[in-house]
Amino acid sequence: MSAERLRVFFALWPDAATAERLEALAGQVHAQCGGRRMRRDTLHMTLCFIGEIGLGSLAALEAAVATVKAPAFRIDIDRAGWWPHKHIVWAGCGAGARDVAALAETLRAAVSAQGFKIEKRPFQPHVTLLRKGRCPPVTDRIEAVSWPVREWVLVASERDHAGSRYRRLGCWPLGAVAK
Ligand code: 2AM
């Protein structure tokens, strides 16, 4: 990709304590499934994947979400899953799933209203824990990791010899929303 273009997406990024617990979870499933563990600093939940944009479109993308308001919430990461076709072992949530989906939908609507093309596949909230996993985790139930969600971020994905690196481009707080 040229330096004039960025591969971007909106995501939830865990605070340090949550990231530490998610990393421990990745370690547990790695013992069962092998593959490549995601590094602590790369663990996240994608809300809305945009893909490649020109640097010149970044301001418009940020402006598209500037007025989005949503309340803070909490999610319980309490299940593990497996996508055999992608060899991905992921963690998902029970409590909070509706709040995540609502925020993702709000962002999708805001950016597509400004002409950005977004992924049409149904939203599947997940944190990728392992890539190139060999088998599913032994159980889909895991001890819940409680994740307080107070903001969402815009991130650029860059590749180097160590895999994907993520650079934070913007951050928007969640908070009380007037009824
Ligand atoms: P994954 O972890 O399941 O691969 C950066 O690549 C982030 O965007 C990752 O969370 C990745 O999900 C997600 N992603 C990559 N390509 C995508 C696509 N076409 N649609 C939705 N999400 C995508």
CATH of the domain at 136: 3.90.1140.10
Please write the tens of the pLDDT for every residue from 85-122.
999 999 999 999 999 999 999 999 999 999 998 888 88
Q: What is the mean pLDDT of the chain?
A: 93
Atom of ligand 1 nearest to the CA of 119: 20
Please write the tens of the pLDDT for every residue from 147-160.
999 999 999 999 87
Is the pLDDT assigned to residue 179 strictly greater than 90?
no
Query: How far is the centre of ligand 1, averaged over its atoms, from the C-alpha of 52 (Å)?
Result: 12
For residue 114, give the 3-state DSSP assignment: coil
Is the pLDDT assigned to residue 1 strictly greater than 70?
no
Expressed as residue numbers, the domain containing 26 is 5-177
Pair 18, 147: CB distance under 8 Å: yes
Query: How far is the centre of ligand 1, averaged over its atoms, from the C-alpha of 177 (Å)?
Result: 29
Q: Is the CB of 9 under 6 A from ligand 1?
A: yes
Please write the tens of the pLDDT for every residue from 46-91.
999 999 999 999 999 999 999 899 999 999 999 999 999 999 999 9
pLDDT value for 75 = 96
Is the pLDDT assigned to residue 162 strictly greater than 80?
no
pLDDT value for 2 = 64
What is d(CA 66, CA 143) in angstroms, rounded to the nearest whole number? 36
Q: What percent of the chain shows pLDDT beyond 70? A: 96
Pair 38, 129: CB distance under 8 Å: yes
Q: Is the CB of 49 under 6 A from ligand 1?
A: yes
CA nearest ligand 1 atom 9, residue: 46
* Count of domains forming the chain: 1
* Short-list 100, 170, 160, 87, CA closest to 128: 87
pLDDT band at residue 177 using 50, 70 and 90 as cut-offs: low
Q: Is the CB of 88 under 6 A from ligand 1?
A: yes
pLDDT value for 178 = 53
